[in-house]
Amino acid sequence: MGLVQRAIEAEGIPTVGISILKEVTQKVRPPRTLFLRYPFGHPLGEALNVKQQRTILLEALKALETITEPGTIVEPGYPWRRHRFE
């Protein structure tokens, strides 16, 4: 995914990627990343958990505005299934 992200950014569109694999993100080095220690298949969290999905997507959009250093990985640190989203 990071490779596609890099291609889009190189074309002149700012990008942010959600990642659940920090090791891969650190190698591929996309410009902006929101990292969550979530399992495969759950980058936005759990099915039907609207508050969780909304919070994570908002964090990604916020990262678009706040990251100023290329390659930055933002980690909100929400634990899997042990965080109550408001």
Partner 1 sequence: MVVQAFKHVPWLASRWAKSHQFVEGRDIPWTPLSKPVAESVIALVTTAGVHLKSQEPFDMDDPDGDPSFREIPSDARKEDLTITHKYYDHSAADRDINVVLPLDRMREFVAGGRIRGVAPVVYGFMGHIHGRHLARLLAESAPEVARRLKSDGADAVVLTPA
Q: Which residues bind partner 1 (CB under 8 A)?
A: 1-24, 27-31, 37-48, 50, 53-54, 57-58, 60-62, 64-65, 70-71, 80
Q: Give the nearer residue to partner 1 in terms of CB position, either 22 or 84.
A: 22
- Smallest CA-to-CA distance from 57 within 16, 8, 7, 6 is with 16
Question: How far is residue 17's CA from residue 7's CA, in Å, rounded to a whole number?
Answer: 12
C-beta of 11 vs 86, nearer to partner 1: 11
**Residue type, position 79, single letter:** P
The count of C-alpha atoms lying within 13 angstroms of the C-alpha of 62, restricted to the half-sphere facing its C-beta, is 11
Q: How far is the CB of 66 from partner 1 (least distance, A)?
A: 10
CB-nearer residue toward partner 1: 1 or 76:
1
